[in-house]
Amino acid sequence: MIHNPLLLKEFRQRMRTVRAPVVVFGYLAAMALFTFFLLYENVQGQLTLLLPQRSEQVFLTLSLVQMTVSVFLTPAYAAGSISGERERRTLAVLLTTPLSPLGILAGKIVSSTALLVLLVVVTLPLYSLVFLFGGAVPAEVVEVFVFQIFTILLVAALSVGWSTLVLRSGWSTVLSYATVAGMLVFTGVAGYGLQLVAQRYPLDQFLAGWSGILFSLNPLWVVAWLEGAVTGPPHPWAWFCAVYGAVCLLLMTASVWRLRPQILRFLPRRPEADERDYQ
């Protein structure tokens, strides 16, 4: 991965522009103002009043906002990665390089998430302010940050997969944002609805179980669980990683075949396709 020429080229193109430092500075400034506002509101202007329970709310709110922003920004950088190459007529040249289809996909995924991971990392000093109020421990911050970076890579992989399977960047962007909306909105609304029905009919454990499963597929709910703000099934992050990891594996397999159909020539009844049809 380090010696991937596509990854190096994408890094240089994305990081050697004026846009990258402007985005990082603007994001950090906005998050800093938001953090100071939350801290000020939680202590009601009394800077000597250090209440850990109020600081926990600041930590939770800051984590949820950062997760939401990061997840919704990821498709903007990744949804047009492969389809954009096709529209610029450079995909055929890219396929003639020694890079394998999996290497091309991995380079696009990592390069499209580099700036977003940097945005998450630069906010680490803001979380140190929460430590002053005793609202979080370093272990919780590390768990939340690792899960945020994993979710960004996951959404980027899904977006790159859609970008490879469809032919237009517009459609890949729509499908990517629809996937993100399903992860954040559908799972939350459906899980909350099933939870309300389960509370009304306590003997129906089937609804309660499905409510926990849907909540486990919501990255915002998993972040809240990691911080102890909600209760639910044990280790929901494992279910989150398993389900979305399987979806990514299917999309990546289909994407590899889409880029190079001859890779499945060993199958007796392989689907017929040609690279020229996609290019």
pLDDT in tens, 42-53: 666 555 555 556
Please indicate, yes or no, if residue 28 is contained in any of the structural domains.
yes
Give yes or no for residue 236 having a pLDDT over 80: yes
Please indicate, yes or no, if residue 114 is contained in any of the structural domains.
yes
Q: What is the distance in angstroms between the CA of the first residue and the CA of the last residue of the chain?
A: 25
Burial of 27 per CB tally in 10 Å (0-12, 13-18, 19+)? buried
Alpha carbons 123 and 265: distance in angstroms, whole number: 48
Alpha carbons 73 and 177: distance in angstroms, whole number: 10
**How does residue 163 score in pLDDT terms, banded at 50, 70 and 90?**
very high
Please indicate, yes or no, if residue 270 is contained in any of the structural domains.
no
Phi, psi at 245, each rounded to 5°: -65, -40
Contacts 24+ apart (CB under 8 A), 39-47: 39/129, 39/133
For the ranges 78-92, 115-129, 204-218, the lowest mean pLDDT is seen at 204-218
Structure confidence by residue, pLDDT tens digits, 1-60: 557 777 777 777 777 778 888 988 999 999 989 888 887 776 665 555 555 566 777 888
Please indicate, yes or no, if residue 274 is contained in any of the structural domains.
no
Alpha carbons 140 and 138: distance in angstroms, whole number: 5
Q: How many domains is the chain built from?
A: 1
Q: Which helix (H) or strand (E) holds 1?
A: none
Mean pLDDT of 227-246: 88
Give yes or no for residue 199 having a pLDDT over 90: no
The residues near 173 (Cβ < 8 Å, ≥ 6 apart) are 75, 76, 79, 80
Please indicate, yes or no, if residue 186 is contained in any of the structural domains.
yes
Please indicate, yes or no, if residue 277 is contained in any of the structural domains.
no
Please indicate, yes or no, if residue 17 is contained in any of the structural domains.
yes
Structure confidence by residue, pLDDT tens digits, 170-195: 899 999 999 999 999 999 898 888 88
Please indicate, yes or no, if residue 233 is contained in any of the structural domains.
yes
- The domain in which residue 161 lies consists of 5-261
Residue 250 confidence (pLDDT): 93
